[in-house]
Chain A
Amino acid sequence: MSETDAKLNAVIGMAMSVLPEEIGCDDCFDYFAAYADHLTNGTPVPEPLRMVGSHLERCAFCMEELELLLEAMKAR
């Protein structure tokens, strides 16, 4: 895929994935630790934290933070 095609796909993805209720990066961060604990423990993610999951699908930067956090948690 050319760089232009990749940008076109990305911007259309950004536009068409708009949901009526979304959270931003800072709100996502507020629930980050709880979300990571649920992932690590394999416990079901409760309803209010589902918004974190859908934010992560759209936000590569928060996703990168989550991946690093999950790795850091293994150090214990």
Chain B
Amino acid sequence: MPPTTRGEPESRSDQDWINDLSASGPLREQALTELRAVLVAGLARSLRRFPNDSPLIQDSAQDALVLIVSRIQTYRGDSRFVTWALSIVIRVALSEMRRARWKDVSLDEMSEAGRIPPPVSEASPVNVSYERSQLMEVVRNAIENDLTPKQRDAIQAELGGTPPDEIAKRLGTNRNALYKLVYDGRVRLRQAILRAGWSEDHIRGVLNGK
């Protein structure tokens, strides 16, 4: 007859977690309770400014618990089960924090925050290197002319510090598709910069002020 309870949570193996969370009855209930406690403790340690009983920690742990149980078949066993579970709760909590922080910001505002402004005047101040302002013009031109509007918004929003989940939401896409969109934009920018006659060494020299 299989055991109906287990000992210390620390002694639970990865396979025990899978078995118990996939079981029914008291073993499953105990595993859920213990896993929830592990998620709350981990989250409270990494997000120190939130107390254990704060809604962010409690709700994230609960949401992650549901996700973990529903995705348990996707756990490949290439990490500790608890590490995998913690990675999910961290992502749930961070997504919620980022959502709350950015909820009232439009895509236009995100994009504007990362726009590189034109030079204030044509007269070049003595302390700005001529080459640096030339390079800036090449980059500004490339952003304006070589990117699609979506690529431009995504790249500028990222430059302005918007997290990818929030940019993806505004563009009606997911984080991986956004990465591909930005990747293609980066390739175009690179080509435009090289086409304008700038080598990687030359750029490095200018950026390092040499």
Interface residues of A (CB under 8 A from B): 4, 7-12, 14-18, 22, 24-27, 29, 31-34, 36-37, 40, 59, 61, 64-65, 68-69, 71-76
Contact = CB atoms under 8 A, between A and B. Distances in A.
10 contacts: A7-B159, A12-B135, A15-B189, A26-B174, A33-B78, A33-B86, A34-B83, A72-B90, A75-B44, A76-B38
B45 A71 contact: yes
Contact of B135 (A8, A18, A75, A76): A8
Chain B interface: which size bin?
A: 35 or more
Contacts of B82: 73, 76
Q: Chain A at the B interface: mostly helix, strand, loop or mixed?
A: helix
Contacts of A37: 79-80, 83
A7 B112 CA distance: 12
A29 to B, nearest CB: 7
B193 A12 contact: yes
A16 B204 CA distance: 10
Contacts of A72: 42-43, 45-46, 86, 89-90
Nearest to B162: A61
A71 B183 CA distance: 30
Contact of B175 (A4, A10, A24): A24
